[in-house]
Amino acid sequence: MSLRVCPQSNSSLSLSHSPMASSPSSPLLLFFFSSSFFFGFFSSATSADSTLKTYIVRVDSQSKPSVFPTHQHWFASLLSADESSPDAAAARILHTYDTVFHGFSASLSPSQLDSLRGHPSVLAVLEDRRRYLHTTRSPQFLGLRNQQGLWSDSDYGSDVIIGVLDTGVWPERRSFSDVNLGPVPKRWKGACETGEKFGAHNCNRKLVGARFFVKGNDAAGRGAGPGMGGGINETVEFRSPRDADGHGTHTASTAAGRYSFRASMAGYAPGIAKGVAPKARIASYKVCWKNSGCFDSDILAAFDAAVNDGVDVISISIGGGDGISSPYYLDPIAIGSYGAVSHGIFVSSSAGNDGPNGMTVTNIAPWLTTVGAGTIDRNFPADVILGNGVKLSGVSLYSGPPLSGKMYPLVYPGKSGILTSSLCMENSLDANHVKGKIVICDRGSSARVAKGLVVLKAGGVGMILANGISNGEGLVGDAHMIPTAAVGANEGDSVKAYVSSTSNPTATIQFRGTQIGIKPAPVVASFSGRGPNGLNPEILKPDLIAPGVNILAAWTDAIGPTGLDSDTRKTEFNILSGTSMACPHVGGAAALLKSAHPDWSPAAIRSAMMTTANLLDNTLKPMTDESTGKPATPYDFGAGHVNLDRAMDPGLIYDITSDDYMNFLCGIGYSNKIIQVITRSPVNCPRAKKPLPENLNYPSVAALFSSTRTGVQSKSFTRTVTNVGEPKAVYQVKIESVPKGVSLVVKPTTLVFSEAVKKQTFMVTIKADTKSLLLDDSGAAFGSLSWSDGKHLVRSPIVITQISPL
């Protein structure tokens, strides 16, 4: 198997002439451009065109005529020329952007869109798209220890502000208490926006700011974008920073929740709940809305606000819902995060939940830290006991009346051959067939907890939720409303075979509470997005993994633990799984590292986590893949599982500057104008010698060899390391796990540092003989190189693969 790489030519974007699917914009500029610029282009179509869609417009801010005192005046004049009134044109503007992006977003008719595309000051026009949340004992599992190490050295992150772009926050939770916290850092410039059931008093020294962004969602609901499905449902939502979904409260408290004693979810996972950086401050940016998702224009506005407000870290557990990564210039998360990183802000993003298939990792821009999910050493076992005495292992967070060992008739609706019945979709079950029985439902197509509700409505007494082959043996617990056990694909096949083998199948479910000390752990979660990087395989993604399975954290009071509208149960904490849960772990980790090392750049922080990450589980064996049980690879876990005890003192780091990222973008073939869509600043790519994208100073190395050439092929890579340990140090290289058919040479083999010499550059040359090169099922082979001074081990994963250009 060889990797097919699409060339990233400029033909995918017609600058100033063609729309670009969903990209971000910058608030101030956007407003300026919208109020004047748009008025000039909007009038001709206000009545002729009835179909409105929302677009994000990237404007060259340097093109403003000097006659206008501000960009806002300039935009207003352009817009008002053909509009019935300046107010009418201004009403089309949703957001203006001026920090991470220059431009605006607005609802446009087709003719207005055509006009904008042709304007010389417009660099790009991007269609607003909807995105989705990446949901489906952890601080200790990151290597953090009470009263020592990074927690104590960073004062638990007390001077760092984490911006969480999510569904808002439920401020009354104990996780957001400011008791015994010092004053808010003076550099903070944010706001506590008020709205429905949310006042200024809801912010404090812990929750230092809260904002909400809904204009893009509202525009979609008004019809600006057929099929976009936007518009909030105000019967279940709050038009304010208050969280009606629960996801934002959960991620915020995972990153930086205060100590909460006697925490649990209906008795499961009892103990002390705390975030990774318990004293870090939280700023909540509500961009996602219950049942209607998150829109690019709102996400970009939140990035713009967060940078202006003064956050130090951003955590964003959001991505596309199709498992496909857009080019960076079409991706508002990539654009917004570039602006944030260029201001020194670390951005943690989720890798997506479309695993275990390959090339499913999302949020893959090289300036983002992309986080996959692993298990922790805690589980919630539930046993399925069949009428023939066979016991099958599963998991569950069901907390209602137990079945108490009583055997019930067992039925599998999928025997009928009707797919919707096997999946227990809405209105697919015959009550006469399932009433009083335990029902086997196949996983997929609808929410796991929703299947249990379908069974309950049809009169069933319990559910066995069976994985299919795509999910393998990967299991997550859910707070079902009906007695339920989730089982892996093998157990699912066993219980279905039992049903077919007897005329009177029976079963019961036994719930066994919370079990800790599970081995092996961590294991790469089956759902976690996998490499290779679908845009630029020269950059290994995901970067690393963190706890993302069965994570206990704070929850909203607006909805029950299943998130279903019919679930009226209340719980202070909930247990969720997904790369959404892994992402804020790394956001909190970055806050601790930033507090301990305030001069470190976002790339330095990521490097410290990657080069010190764990490769072994708690049985001291290589980490495995939950979906297959086989050893995992860097396509699954990146550099490994975060270990903050070592990341605090990594020895060497691989740093990256904004100029380095610009050279990378030049190297992948982007034109100067395309790059300016991302970077805000004008760029002049070298004409004589194009930079090589694989020479971006990343803490990993990916060698791509042609699948159409035979014989020995060679690639060389340059890397520079910075000493952040003892000033005088000598590091020796160690090459590990060189695949068959590959030779790897590093020059020099020794790096010497002193007070005067803090940086050293080395070259890695990889040669591969395509005749003898052995690749795994993913089409890759893996190795690693490390630098060691006897105290530190600075490890970089190496990937070797073959590509066949289209």
Return the active site residues.
166, 247, 580
Calpha distance 365→345 (Å, rounded): 15
Phi/psi at 152 (nearest 5 deg)? -75, -40
| CB 610, CB 643: distance < 8 Å | no
Q: Which residues of 231-261 are buried (b: 16+ CB within 10 A; e: fewer)?
A: bbeeeebbbbbbbbbbbbbbbbbbbbbbbbe
Calpha distance 461→438 (Å, rounded): 6
Calpha distance 486→474 (Å, rounded): 10
Q: How far apart are the first and last CA of the chain?
A: 15
Q: What's the number of CA atoms in the CB half-sphere (13 Å) around residue 532? A: 29
All residues at 6 or more sequence positions from 266 whose CB lies less than 8 Å from its CB, including other chains: 397, 399, 479, 561, 569, 571
Maximum alpha-carbon separation in the chain: 87
Calpha distance 133→137 (Å, rounded): 23
Tell me which long-range contacts 71-74 makes (C-beta under 8 A, separation of at least 24): 71/28, 71/29, 71/32, 71/33, 71/98, 72/28, 72/31, 72/32, 72/35, 72/36, 72/96, 73/32, 73/36, 74/32, 74/33, 74/36, 74/37
Using N-to-C axis directions, what is the helix angle for 658-667 and 672-679, rounded to 10°? 140
Calpha distance 567→556 (Å, rounded): 13
Place of tokens 């009550």: 431
Query: What tokens appear for 783 in the block?
Result: 């190795």
| β-pair type (759-769, 742-747) | antiparallel
Fill in the amino acid letter for 8.
Answer: Q
Fill in the amino acid letter for 543.
Answer: D
| CB 717, CB 764: distance < 8 Å | yes
Closest CA to 268 of 572, 580, 583, 567: 572
Residues 87, 88, 91: CA angle, nearest 5 degrees: 85
Query: What tokens appear for 340 in the block?
Result: 């944030």
- Neighbouring C-beta atoms of residue 264, cutoff 10 Å: 17
All residues at 6 or more sequence positions from 256 whose CB lies less than 8 Å from its CB, including other chains: 157, 162, 275, 276, 277, 278, 279, 280, 281, 282, 588, 591
> What is the full DSSP assignment across 740-758?
TTEEEEEESSEEEE-SS--
Fill in the amino acid letter for 799.
Answer: V
Query: What tokens appear for 618 in the block?
Result: 């708690």
Closest CA to 364 of 524, 613, 536: 536
Conformation bin of residue 94: beta by default, left when phi > 0, alpha when psi is -120 to 50: alpha
Calpha distance 8→11 (Å, rounded): 8
Calpha distance 11→23 (Å, rounded): 17
Helices and strands in the chain, H and E counts: 21, 38
| CB 579, CB 528: distance < 8 Å | yes
Which residue intervals of 329-396 are DSSP H helices? 332-342
